[in-house]
Structure 1
C-alpha cells in the first residue's frame, strides 16, 4: 500500500508536520473542533496541519492543528461584549457621507452607502 500524498509527520517536506484528511493523531484539533469543546488555541503556535486537494483550487487546502493540552478555555462573554459588537456592526453600516444607517454593511470598495456612491462624481 502506498503512502498518502500529504503524509509528513516530521515536517521535512512541508516545514510543519502534515497529515492527510482523516489521519490526524490524537491530541491535535482544528480551531473549530477546539471551539466545540469550549476551548481556544490561546497563544500556542500551530502544531501541525492537514492538507487536502480541492476541486475548487489548484493549490492544496490547509487546516491548522493545535495541541489540546495547551488549549485554554474560551473567555467569558461579559455584558459589555454584546454592546461592543453591536457598536462595531453599527459603525460598519453607517455611511460616512450622509451619516445614516444603511441597514446593510457598506461595500468596502465604495466606502459609502449605495445612494451616496451613485451621487458621487466619477473619477477620471
Structure 2
C-alpha cells in the first residue's frame, strides 16, 4: 500500500472526521453531486456522509468530493415557466455590455467587463482609409 493511499483511506473517519476513500474507490450507494444530477437526483438537504480524496501530484492540498447517500436523494425539481424566465433574464444580463447596451452572443468576460468590441476598439490607423459613417 502506497503512502498516498494510506493517507486518504480512512473509512471510519478517525483522521479526517468523515469517512474518506481514495479517488474512484467509494463504496456502492454513495455518489457526488454531479453523479446524483446525472441520475436526475439532488442531495435534498442531507449532509455529506463521506468524501473521496485525491492528493495533488504537485503542490499542497488535496482534491475532495463529498459523497451523499443515493437512497436519501430526492428528484430534481422541475423547471417552471417562472424559473425559465428568471434564468433567461440572468443570462441576458451576463450577455449585455454595460457600455454599448448591446446583447452579445456570448457571456461578457468578467475580466474585461465589456463586450470585446468595446474593450478592444479598432484604432483609427488600422481602419485605413475607410470613412466614418
Give the TM-score range, shorter chain: 0.7 to 0.9
Deviation track 1:22-49 (CA, whole Å, cap 9, x = no partner) reads: 3322321111221222210011111111
Q: Aligned residues, how many?
A: 119
Match of 1:46 in 2: 48
Point out the structure with the larger strand share. Answer: 1
Aligned to 1:14: 16
Q: Please, which runs of 5 or more residues in structure 1 have no aligned partner?
A: 120-124
Q: Which TM-score applies when normalising by structure 2?
A: 0.74
- Provide the TM-score with structure 1 as the length reference: 0.79
Q: CA deviation at 1:100?
A: 0.7
Larger Rg: 2
Aligned counterpart in structure 2 of residue 76 of structure 1, from 75, 78, 96: 78
Q: RMSD of the alignment, in Å?
A: 2.3
Structure 1 runs of 4+ aligned residues shifted over 6 Å read: none
